[in-house]
């Protein structure tokens, strides 16, 4: 599991419940590490998300945004960069008692705004709830259309050999993207095949 998103961890917006008026979404700080770990590892204990350590979250804290209600952390999500043009939305989770107020949607909106701030061309995620992502502008894609580096977390997942997560992609700069193609990229001392989105010829 890379993003480890399931119905238990993030739900669609409930129109009848309405948005939380006291909800604040902001970038995470070091003081948020404990609550983030509590939320993620609570789901990890149920086999829904990958467990994270204090060291891992500390190293990645700049990737995280958090949702707060009444001063308590009720959701988190991270934008993890893989190249100058693409990033992954991952570690997205919402507290069990706060699922029906659009918190997941607000976190996605904040992470996409951040991606646009950095002029990224696209964001992607691996998920069990493609319907949720479909409502916030993502489309299902083949796994091979995403950077191979995005699979680096898979090796420690118990479902590594039988992953059933769905890849989703949201293109942010449509004018720069054409069809998916394979190209050769030099990495270290050898060439490797990496699948990327092809930039259109603007001439």
Task: Indicate if the pLDDT at residue 200 is higher than 80.
Answer: no
Q: Which fold has domain 23-173?
A: Aminopeptidase (3.40.630)
Percent over 70 (pLDDT), the chain: 64
Task: Indicate if the pLDDT at residue 92 is higher than 90.
Answer: yes
- Output the pLDDT for position 72: 94
Q: How far, in Å, CA of 13 to CA of 70, rounded?
A: 20
Task: Indicate if the pLDDT at residue 199 is higher than 70.
Answer: no
The whole-model pTM stands at: 0.76
Secondary structure (3-state) at 94: strand
Secondary structure (3-state) at 194: strand
Give mean pLDDT, residues 5-26.
61
**Residues ≥6 apart with Cβ < 8 Å to 20:** 69, 98, 101, 102, 103
119-138 pLDDT tens trace: 999 999 988 888 999 999 99
Distance of CA 200 to the CA centre of its chain: 26
What is the token pair recorded at 115? Answer: 């991606």
Q: How far, in Å, CA of 131 to CA of 140, rounded?
A: 10
- Output the pLDDT for position 184: 28
Task: Indicate if the pLDDT at residue 76 is higher than 60.
Answer: yes
153-163 pLDDT tens trace: 655 555 545 55
């Amino acid at each position: 599991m890379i993003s480890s998103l399931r119905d238990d961890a993030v739900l669609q917006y409930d129109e009848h419940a309405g948005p939380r008026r006291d909800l604040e979404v902001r970038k995470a700080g070091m003081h948020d590490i404990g609550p983030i770990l509590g939320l993620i590892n609570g789901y990890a204990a149920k086999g829904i998300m990958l467990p994270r350590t204090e060291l891992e979250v500390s190293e990645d804290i700049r990737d995280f945004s958090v949702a707060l209600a009444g001063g308590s952390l009720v959701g988190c999500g991270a934008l993890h960069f893989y190249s100058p043009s693409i990033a992954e939305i991952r570690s997205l989770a919402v507290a069990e008692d706060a699922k029906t107020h659009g918190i997941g949607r607000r976190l996605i909106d904040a992470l996409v705004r951040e991606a646009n701030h950095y002029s990224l061309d696209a964001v992607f995620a691996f998920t069990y709830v493609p319907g949720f992502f479909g409502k916030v502008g993502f489309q299902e894609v083949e796994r091979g259309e995403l950077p191979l580096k995005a699979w680096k977390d898979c090796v420690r997942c118990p479902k590594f050999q039988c992953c059933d997560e769905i890849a989703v992609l949201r293109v942010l700069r449509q004018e720069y993207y054409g069809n998916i193609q394979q190209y050769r990229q030099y990495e270290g001392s050898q060439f490797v095949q990496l699948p990327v989105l092809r930039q259109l010829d603007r001439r």
